[in-house]
Structure 1
Amino acid sequence: MTSHDPAPTGGPRSIESLSSLTTGQVDAVLTLLAEAARADGQQAVSEQGRLQLRGGERAGVRHLLLTVGDTSVADTSVTDTSAADTLVGYAQLEDTDPVEAPAAELVVHPAHRGHGHGRALGTALLAESGKRLRVWAHGGHSAARHLSQVLGLTLFRELRQMRRSLADLDQPEPALPEGVTVRTFVPGKDDAAWLAVNAQAFAHHPEQGSLTQRDLDDRKAEAWFDPAGFFLAERGGELIGFHWTKVHAAEGLGEVYVLGVRPGAQGGGLGKALTGIGLRHLAAQGLPTAMLYVDADNKAAVSVYERLGFTTHETDLMYRTET
C-alpha cells in the first residue's frame, strides 16, 4: 500500500507499506531510530520491533515508511531511501495475536516533528489494521498522548520500567525449593524445552508467550547474548523455571530480561530464588544498576519487586481503538 499527500513543509509526503525491507531501507530506519533515541532518551521501537527489521518477510509484520520528497535537510544523518525521498517517519504493525488487535510502534525524526507526520502514520496504521489497533507510546510523552487522542485511541495498558541499585545488593544465597537445581542455558540443546515452558509461563502475555524458534535465534545472534547469564531451574531433569538476564553494556544496566515459572511449579519460592540468582550474577559483572519491565496491573509482581528494592523509573503506555 502506498499513499501520497502534500506535506506541510517541503515536497509531497508518501507512506509505503512493505512486508520486508531492503538492506538500504533497514539502515535508513536504524539511523532514524538512533537519531530519535538520542533526542528522546529512549528507543521508540522495542527490541522485538528492531529485530523484525532484518531477516526478510515475517508473517503478520508490516513496515510503513514515511518519506518527504525534495526536502533540504541540514542533518545529513537522515538517510535517503531513494535519490529524491528522505525518510522522516517509520511505523511497524504486527498482526500475530489471534485475539488482540494488531500492535504498532511509530516514530518521526526529531527534525521533522510538528508537521503532521505522526498523525499521517497513525492514520495509515488505522487503515492498514482495519481500525483495530493497539499503539505503544514508550515513555508516555505528552506528544504521544496527544496523538492518541487525535486518532481516537484510549489508554488500556501501562508497562513500568523499574530499577534498583546493585551497589548495595546484600542478598544471601538464594534458597531453592526442595529437589530443584539450577544450571545455565545450552544453545541448541535447551531451545525447544525453554520455548515450551516460556509459552506456558506467559500464556497470558501477548508478546512474550508467543516467541518462536526464529525469535529465540534472533536474540541468540545479538552481541549481548550470554548463556552464562541464562539460568534454568530443573526438577528431576525437567525444566520448570528460568531467569534470562541481559547486559546493556553502554548504559551500565543489567536487566531481569525474562523470568518465568511453569504453572504448577509456582508458589514455592522458585521465582524469588531465580530473581536472586540473576541479580547476584549481574552484580558480579560490576554493573551498578538493575532494571526490569512489569505490567502495572500485575500487582503481585510489582509488590515482589518493590520488596526487592525496585522503584518505577519510567512508564510505557499502550493505547487502542474502542472494542
Structure 2
Amino acid sequence: MPTGDQDAATWPGPPSVRVSGPLAGPDAAAVLDLVRHAADEDGVSPLSEHVLLHLRYGGDPQARNVLLRLGDVLAGYGHLDPTDQVAGPSGEMVVHPAYRRQGLGLALGRALAAAAGDRGLRLWAHGDLPGAARLAAAAGFERTRALYQMRRSLREPLDPPRLPDGITVRTFVPGQDDEAWLELNRRAFARHPEQGAWTRADLDLREREPWFDPAGFFLAERDGRLAGFHWTKVHGRTAAAPHGHEAIGEVYVVGVDPDERGTGLGRALTLVGLHHLRDRGLQQVMLYADEDNEPAIGLYESLGFAHQGTDVMFSRPGVINPDRKAESGLRR
C-alpha cells in the first residue's frame, strides 16, 4: 500500500475514479506498468503475487478493480478481494511515485472501502514502508498482522534431510497429482484462509507461470497417500523470467498433513527443497511466515534464516483476523 512530488496544479488532468470487474488488456497493462514504477521506487512490489497473476491472465470475476486517473494518466490502482467469508474483504493499492502525498491514497482507500461495503476492509502494505503506515493511520486503520520475509545464504552448510520412517519423496506430476495435492493443502492450511482456500483454478494459474517447475515441487508419501509437500520457486534473472535482479530461490509453500505433525516431516521437506535450490546453483533463498507463527519462525531460524523485511495488514478497529497459525510455512 505505498502512498512524489508533483503539485495538484501540475496534474495532467482532473481526477476520476472507476470501479470495475476484470480488467481488459489496455487497463491491465497500464496497472502492470504502474506497479513496475512503484517497485523500482520502493524496492518492493506493491501488489501480491495473487493479484499480479489475475492482472496478467484476465482477473478474478469476483474481484473489484479501482482505477484512479488524472486525465488519461493512471495515477493509482486498488484491488479488492471480497471472497473471504471469515475475515472479510482485503485490498491492496498503489499510487504512482510521481503523484504521492497529494491525497490520492486516501481517495483510493475510500473507493476500496465503499466497494467492500459494511463487511469492513483489510489492507495489505508490502514492505512496511513509512508512507503506508502514515496513510493507514490517516484513514483510521490499525496494524493487525505482519508477515515476515526471511532469507538465508545457500553458500552456508545445509544439514541432510532426515525423513521419518515410512516416508518417501518424489516430485509433483501435473495432471496426476493436482486434486490430491489440493486436498492435502486444504488439510494442512485449514486455519489459514488464503492458502487453504486454493482451488484448481488457483493451481492451474501457477502451473502456467514461467517460473513453474515440477522438478522443484516435492511430495512426501506414506503408504501411497500424500503426507506433505514443499513447493519451491525460483524468481529473478532466469531464462524463463529475465528480471533485473539475480535469481533467488523461495520456499514457496511447505505443508504437512495434520496427522504427520510432530514427526519432523516439515523440517525434512524444507531441507529437501533447500538442497534442490542449492544444486541449481542459487546463492540465496527466501520465504514468508506470519510474525506470530512462532513454530514456523523457530524452524526457519534453526535452518539459518533471518528476518529480511515485513508485509503488514491494516484493519479498521473492530475487524478481527482469524487465527492463522499453522505448523508449516505460510504464504501471503
Query: TM-score, structure 2 length as denominator?
Result: 0.88
Q: Is the 8 A contact 1:155 1:318 kept in 2?
A: yes
Task: Quote the Cα distance in structure 2 between the aligned partners of 1:213 and 1:283.
Answer: 30
1:57 Cα shift? Answer: 5.0
Task: Quote the Cα distance in structure 2 between the aligned partners of 1:164 and 1:139.
Answer: 18
Task: Quote the Cα distance in structure 2 between the aligned partners of 1:180 and 1:152.
Answer: 50
Query: 5+ unaligned residues in a row in structure 1: which ranges?
Result: 1-6, 70-84
Aligned residue number for residue 246 of structure 1: 233
**What are the within-5 Å matches in structure 2 for residues 198-209 of structure 1?**
198-209=185-196
Confirm or deny that 1:141 pairs with 2:129. Answer: yes
Q: Is the 8 A contact 2:22 2:61 kept in 1?
A: no
Confirm or deny that 1:164 pairs with 2:152. Answer: yes
Aligned residue number for residue 222 of structure 1: 209
Task: Quote the Cα distance in structure 1 between the aligned partners of 2:20 and 2:192.
Answer: 27
Q: Is the 8 A contact 1:169 1:283 kept in 2?
A: no
Q: Secondary structure of the residue that 2:117 maps to in structure 1?
A: coil
Confirm or deny that 1:289 pairs with 2:284. Answer: yes
Confirm or deny that 1:100 pairs with 2:110. Answer: no
Confirm or deny that 1:267 pairs with 2:256. Answer: no
Aligned residue number for residue 37 of structure 1: 39
Aligned residue number for residue 78 of structure 1: none
- Describe the superposition over 1:188-246 as per-residue Cα deviations: whole angstroms up to 9, x where unpaired: 11000111111111111121111111111110000000000000000111011000000
Percent pairwise identity: 52
**What are the within-5 Å matches in structure 2 for residues 1-323 of structure 1?**
8-9=8-9, 10=11, 11-56=13-58, 58-69=60-71, 85-130=72-117, 132-172=120-160, 174-250=161-237, 251-323=246-318
Q: Secondary structure of the residue that 2:150 maps to in structure 1?
A: strand
Task: Quote the Cα distance in structure 2 between the aligned partners of 1:288 and 1:272.
Answer: 20
Q: Is the 8 A contact 1:21 1:54 kept in 2?
A: no
1:116 Cα shift? Answer: 1.1
Q: Is the 8 A contact 1:159 1:315 kept in 2?
A: yes
Task: Quote the Cα distance in structure 1 between the aligned partners of 2:131 and 2:56.
Answer: 29
Q: Is the 8 A contact 1:157 1:318 kept in 2?
A: yes
1:156 Cα shift? Answer: 0.7
- Describe the superposition over 1:120-152 as per-residue Cα deviations: whole angstroms up to 9, x where unpaired: 101111111125000011111111001111111
Q: Is the 8 A contact 1:59 1:96 kept in 2?
A: no
Query: 5+ unaligned residues in a row in structure 2: which ranges?
Result: 1-6, 238-245, 319-332
**1:59 and 1:99, CA in 2 relative to 1: closer, same or farther beyond 3 A?**
farther
Task: Quote the Cα distance in structure 1 between the aligned partners of 2:62 and 2:261.
Answer: 33
Higher relative contact order (CA 8 A, sep 6+): 2
One-letter amino acid of the structure 2 residue matched with residue 143 of structure 1: G
Query: TM-score, structure 1 length as denominator?
Result: 0.91
More off after superposition, 182-191 vs 122-131: 122-131
More off after superposition, 181-190 vs 203-212: 203-212
